[in-house]
Chains A and B, each alone.
Chain A
Amino acid sequence: MTLSVWALPSADMTTAQEKNELTQTPLLKIWVPWLGMGGCKLSCRRGSSVPQLTNSPTLIVMVGLPARGKTYISKKLSRYLNWIGVPTKVFNLGQYRREAVQSYKNFEFFRPDNEEAMQIRRACATNALKDVVIYFSKDHGQVAVFDATNTTRERRISIVSFSKEKGYKVFFVESICDDPDIIAQNITEVKVSSPDYVNCDKDEAQADFLKRIECYKQSYVPLDDEKDRHLSYIKIFNVGSRYLVNRVQDHIQSRIVYYLMNIHVTPRSIFLSRHGESELNLLGRIGGDSGLSPRGHKYATALGGFIKGQHIKDLKVWTSHMKRTIQTAEHLGIPYEQWKALNEIDAGVCEELTYEDIQENHPEEFALRDQDKYRYRYPNGESYEDLVHRLEPVIMELERQENVLVVCHQAVMRCLLAYLLDKTSDELPYLKCPLHTVLKLTPVAYGCRVEHICLNIEAVNTHRERPGNVDVTRDPEEALKTIPEHF
């Protein structure tokens, strides 16, 4: 290691302005330059409080024959990106076509020699790309997923020049599958019930769809190792047994690749539950690290019984590092893993207070929280937004795993649920996650089936709805109107 002492010329040490005065934004608790009596101007501060994942909009382009999982991947990827805070939207060409053509007759529409249909399909693609432009320029979108077959080089070249012209980055996701069982399964799960086949029986639909695939096969040119070596893409073979990744350009593409390489389609269920009712829950206090109440212990036993009754193969159990989730898991009699990342939201100076205490001691904070519960950060604590960031590795591992039971906390469970059920950041902090209830989530088609299983052990309600008046000027009664009962 070399050591040196920096010696400066004595002249020219003045800076144009003393830039050391900062103020903390009240809601997000972010330090920004104080620009005099007018307060801070968020728009002209130098510091971004969100790490920059990319500096230009990204167009993800799906490639592949029908029934290769393109829409499944598009929707899942979009859900993930939105959850981690990257505004993303899927543009499904099939939907544009359904709007243009109104009623689908049969596969003949997709015949390569059907000139009239070709024109319609081209027009749909143009319209979809026009909407992409609007999404990026007016709606503050960052990622658009163009979900179509895009099976010809010609089509892909035109998309690349369109993107170049607009200054968008392009990333192709190609799904290649030659396993007839998987394709048949896909058709059954999502095609047979599509609006296109509403008046057909299963076998007719299946047969027609297979002919539809044939129409594309002739002209299908997969991404080529040589000819397409300058493009950025990932090729997924046979539902993830193999991947080919070429020229990842930036952070967001790297994250997308990592995500796509971790998801799978093996059937499984995810069980979400909070810890049993805790001593602090009974007192209406938030946060802390208390143990279970007697009813909480009862729930934990009931949970053990429920899990046994489900006869789940190879169940993994995860808890946080907090006493109440660990006590709950202990009753299950199965090995469990503790994740610090699953700890409840840190309420900072409000830890272990009741809502009444918070109103009395921090009325302004209490109001700010009601104004924007997702982004609001407790003083010396966290926000839901911080929580999502902290939970991302948990979600990634949940994707890799199969049957998992997660024993966690109210705010944490809301975040996980929002990811699995594609809820917005506005809905997230108000999702209902009552004590003593297990949610069983099973992926099906493009989404998730949810079963609520209430284990019939009494518990306090800890859900506080957004009150009518969220102004800092409101009266205490207005603030405390929606507080659930406690001892």
Chain B
Amino acid sequence: MMRGCSRSKSTQNLDRTVCMTNCPTLIVTVGLPARGKTYISKKLTRYLNWIGVPTREFNVGQYRRECLKIYKSFEFFRPDNEEGLKIRQQCASAALNDVRQYLADGGQVAVFDATNTTRERRETITVFAEQNGFKVFFVESVCEDPEVIAENIVQVKLGSPDYTNCNTEEAMEDFKKRIKCYENSYETLDEVLDRHLSYIKIMDVGRRYLVNQVQDHIQSRIVYYLMNIHITPRSIYLCRHGESDLNVKGCIGGDSGLSPRGKEFAKYLRQFIQSQEISDLKVWTSQMKRTIQTAEAVSVPYEQWKALNEIDAGVCEEMMYEEIQQHYPLEFAMRDQDKYRYRYPKGESYEDLVQRLEPVIMELERQENVLVICHQAVMRCLLAYFLDKTAEELPYLKCPLHTVLKLTPVAYGCKVESIYLNVDAVNTHRERPENVEVSRMAEEALLTVPAHQ
């Protein structure tokens, strides 16, 4: 939730610190290997960063790899391997040290990704957090389904740096023995013994959740997010509306209809979608004419979301960049200085757009196959979420007209396929010009404006 906090003298550009929590939060994963802890850590981190909460994950396995250099076999993880235990302890401490540094340096949430399967280890972490004034929230993943575990191992463990020199069977065998090393000492979060801790226990990949002592807003949002994600294979298709009449003229915003080429694109989109043979495809549009016209041509039921409407350019609606430079040169320069946070007068910023789109992302997480027909700025925001782009990169992501992006979750990230549907369209992508000073000349400002009629 993006809201600015006030200081006693309000100014036009307030500090955009997010006041959701008053102290940093340490999220601690708990669970045997191959239970999805790293998957959850990375996804949660991506989501929190996207909604504006500075978050970083700290994977103890990575610290161990840096320390050990070469992984020999599961024997390293044997509970009676004194030397192994010492090294693992040191790695955990090193990671916690970095956590402390990060949270002192402006980080808001740190995700401590490790097995943390003993009560003793968790007690150490709780003490560490108390000493430093951090809130702790545990995320435990419990799963006994052998198929799910095997699938996890195949997807993310076999390709791990630990197993670069092994074949599939060897790697699988070794990893299973590694899991065994943890099983005997595993103490799951207990309803009675751990009743004062704040945690969520995720069972069987989301069939069931146990949620205990949620302390504040950010923990509540984390719980809501974790309860909405799933791992059923599916694809998300993102595209813009077909080329519009205002696009052709080089004007931004507005609510115009499709140009003849845009209508062509809509027909091609229909054929493309049919050829993909997607089961149970949901189609979403904004409430603007150009996305709806596009969806109508695809000939499948669709839902209109006002939240998917293009960024509101306020006083600059329906202007060409040349006109903006002419009438609002100051605004134009400020936008180039910080395109993510810049808000059009009487309009919106990309930052506002992200907040507006959060329910769309939440519903996208719940759904399976979805085609989202939207707009340039909106698509940039959605893409940044899926591909973990920063606020600096987001407003300059390339989302050309007449191109469909097919996103398929794989391992810890997203596979992207870009399919250009072979119908010409204007380019609407304006790169950041060199000179972003308010004192710049008109030509410098307009250097990167794409061609139009």
Alpha-carbon distance between A375 and B254 when the two chains are bound, in angstroms? 22
B328 to chain A, nearest CB (A): 17
**In-complex Cβ contact of B267 among A2, A13, A338 (8 A):** A13
State which of B156-164, B319-327, B413-421, B432-440 sits at the interface with chain A: B413-421
- Flag whether B10 is at the interface (Cβ < 8 A): yes
Alpha-carbon distance between A254 and B230 when the two chains are bound, in angstroms? 13
Which of A6, A251, A262 counts the most chain B CB atoms within 10 A?
A6
- Flag whether A98 is at the interface (Cβ < 8 A): no
- Flag whether A244 is at the interface (Cβ < 8 A): yes
Q: Are the CB atoms of B306 and A337 closer together than 8 Å? A: no
- Flag whether B429 is at the interface (Cβ < 8 A): no
Q: Mark B283-303, 1 if CB is under 8 A from A, else 0.
A: 001011100110111011111
> Which partner residue on chain B sits nearest A225 by CB separation?
B208
A202 to chain B, nearest CB (A): 34
Q: Are the CB atoms of A22 and B293 closer together than 8 Å? A: yes
Also in contact, A335 and B6, with CB within 8 A (given A22-B293, A47-B292, A48-B304): yes
> Which partner residue on chain A sits nearest B351 by CB separation?
A340
Q: Are the CB atoms of A30 and B417 closer together than 8 Å? A: no
Q: Are the CB atoms of A386 and B306 closer together than 8 Å? A: yes
Inter-chain contacts of A5 with B (CB < 8 A): 419-420, 422
Q: Are the CB atoms of B304 and A49 closer together than 8 Å? A: yes
Q: Are the CB atoms of A20 and B212 closer together than 8 Å? A: no
Q: Mark B1-16, 1 if CB is under 8 A from A, else 0.
A: 1111110101000100
Inter-chain contacts of B268 with A (CB < 8 A): 6, 8
- Flag whether B214 is at the interface (Cβ < 8 A): yes
Inter-chain contacts of B1 with A (CB < 8 A): 393, 397
State which of B42-50, B83-91, B216-224 sits at the interface with chain A: B216-224
Also in contact, A243 and B10, with CB within 8 A (given A3-B418, A4-B420, A6-B272): no
A395 to chain B, nearest CB (A): 13
Inter-chain contacts of A393 with B (CB < 8 A): 1
Q: Are the CB atoms of A337 and B422 closer together than 8 Å? A: no
Alpha-carbon distance between A335 and B419 when the two chains are bound, in angstroms? 50
Q: Are the CB atoms of B303 and A47 closer together than 8 Å? A: yes
Inter-chain contacts of B296 with A (CB < 8 A): 19-20, 22, 33, 46-47
Inter-chain contacts of A248 with B (CB < 8 A): 227
Inter-chain contacts of A37 with B (CB < 8 A): none
**In-complex Cβ contact of A245 among B209, B257, B300 (8 A):** B209
- Flag whether B240 is at the interface (Cβ < 8 A): no
Q: Are the CB atoms of B220 and A261 closer together than 8 Å? A: yes
Q: Are the CB atoms of B303 and A51 closer together than 8 Å? A: yes
Tell me the A1-54 residues at the B interface (CB within 8 Å): 1-8, 13, 15, 19-20, 22, 24, 29-31, 33, 46-52
Inter-chain contacts of B223 with A (CB < 8 A): 261
Alpha-carbon distance between A8 and B302 when the two chains are bound, in angstroms? 24
**In-complex Cβ contact of A254 among B10, B228, B285 (8 A):** B228
- Flag whether A359 is at the interface (Cβ < 8 A): no
Alpha-carbon distance between A8 and B271 when the two chains are bound, in angstroms? 8
Alpha-carbon distance between A337 and B17 when the two chains are bound, in angstroms? 10
Q: Are the CB atoms of B297 and A15 closer together than 8 Å? A: yes
> Which partner residue on chain A sits nearest B7 by CB separation?
A335
Which of B217, B270, B304 counts the most chain A CB atoms within 10 A?
B304
Number of A interface residues in the complex (CB < 8 A):
58
A254 to chain B, nearest CB (A): 6
**In-complex Cβ contact of B301 among A29, A46, A243, A329 (8 A):** A46
- Flag whether B135 is at the interface (Cβ < 8 A): no
- Flag whether B171 is at the interface (Cβ < 8 A): no
Inter-chain contacts of A289 with B (CB < 8 A): 346
Alpha-carbon distance between A262 and B219 when the two chains are bound, in angstroms? 11
Q: Are the CB atoms of A254 and B212 closer together than 8 Å? A: no
Alpha-carbon distance between A336 and B5 when the two chains are bound, in angstroms? 7
Which of A20, A258, A262 counts the most chain B CB atoms within 10 A?
A20
Alpha-carbon distance between A337 and B14 when the two chains are bound, in angstroms? 11
Alpha-carbon distance between A14 and B291 when the two chains are bound, in angstroms? 20
> Which partner residue on chain B sits nearest A244 by CB separation?
B210
Tell me the B396-451 residues at the A interface (CB within 8 Å): 416-422
Q: Are the CB atoms of A340 and B270 closer together than 8 Å? A: no
Q: Are the CB atoms of A262 and B220 closer together than 8 Å? A: yes
Inter-chain contacts of B270 with A (CB < 8 A): 15
Tell me the B303-323 residues at the A interface (CB within 8 Å): 303-306
- Flag whether A193 is at the interface (Cβ < 8 A): no
A40 to chain B, nearest CB (A): 12
Inter-chain contacts of B4 with A (CB < 8 A): 321, 337-338
Q: Are the CB atoms of A243 and B5 closer together than 8 Å? A: no
B237 to chain A, nearest CB (A): 13
- Flag whether B355 is at the interface (Cβ < 8 A): yes
Q: Are the CB atoms of A30 and B220 closer together than 8 Å? A: no
Tell me the B261-281 residues at the A interface (CB within 8 Å): 263, 266-268, 270-272
Tell me the A235-263 residues at the B interface (CB within 8 Å): 241-248, 251, 254, 257-258, 261-262
A327 to chain B, nearest CB (A): 8
**In-complex Cβ contact of B213 among A30, A48, A242, A245 (8 A):** A242
- Flag whether A131 is at the interface (Cβ < 8 A): no
- Flag whether B211 is at the interface (Cβ < 8 A): yes
- Flag whether B174 is at the interface (Cβ < 8 A): no
Alpha-carbon distance between A15 and B299 when the two chains are bound, in angstroms? 9
Also in contact, A6 and B417, with CB within 8 A (given A338-B14, A400-B220): no
> Which partner residue on chain A sits nearest B14 by CB separation?
A338
Alpha-carbon distance between A257 and B208 when the two chains are bound, in angstroms? 12
Q: Are the CB atoms of A19 and B207 closer together than 8 Å? A: no
> Which partner residue on chain A sits nearest B291 by CB separation?
A31
> Which partner residue on chain B sits nearest A52 by CB separation?
B303
- Flag whether A339 is at the interface (Cβ < 8 A): yes
> Which partner residue on chain A sits nearest B260 by CB separation?
A20
B130 to chain A, nearest CB (A): 20
A261 to chain B, nearest CB (A): 7
Q: Are the CB atoms of B287 and A30 closer together than 8 Å? A: yes
Q: Are the CB atoms of A389 and B208 closer together than 8 Å? A: no
Inter-chain contacts of A52 with B (CB < 8 A): 303
Q: Are the CB atoms of B418 and A1 closer together than 8 Å? A: yes
- Flag whether A330 is at the interface (Cβ < 8 A): yes
Alpha-carbon distance between A351 and B228 when the two chains are bound, in angstroms? 39
Also in contact, A47 and B3, with CB within 8 A (given A248-B227, A330-B10): no
Q: Are the CB atoms of B6 and A246 closer together than 8 Å? A: no
Q: Are the CB atoms of A20 and B263 closer together than 8 Å? A: yes
Inter-chain contacts of B121 with A (CB < 8 A): none
Alpha-carbon distance between A335 and B10 when the two chains are bound, in angstroms? 11
- Flag whether B19 is at the interface (Cβ < 8 A): yes
Alpha-carbon distance between A257 and B419 when the two chains are bound, in angstroms? 39
- Flag whether B363 is at the interface (Cβ < 8 A): yes
20 interchain pairs (CB within 8 A)? Answer: A2-B418, A3-B418, A3-B420, A4-B418, A5-B420, A5-B422, A8-B268, A15-B297, A46-B299, A48-B304, A49-B287, A241-B213, A242-B191, A242-B210, A242-B213, A243-B210, A244-B211, A246-B208, A251-B363, A258-B220
- Residues of A that sit less than 8 Å from B by CB: 1-8, 13, 15, 19-20, 22, 24, 29-31, 33, 46-52, 229, 241-248, 251, 254, 257-258, 261-262, 289, 321, 326, 329-330, 333, 335-340, 351, 386, 389, 393, 397, 400
Given contacts A3-B417, A337-B6, 18 further A-B contacts (CB under 8 A): A5-B419, A6-B420, A6-B421, A8-B271, A15-B270, A19-B296, A30-B287, A31-B287, A46-B302, A47-B285, A47-B303, A50-B303, A243-B209, A258-B227, A336-B6, A337-B5, A397-B217, A400-B220
Identify the 4 closest CB pairs spanning chains A and B, nearest first: A19-B296, A1-B416, A245-B209, A243-B211
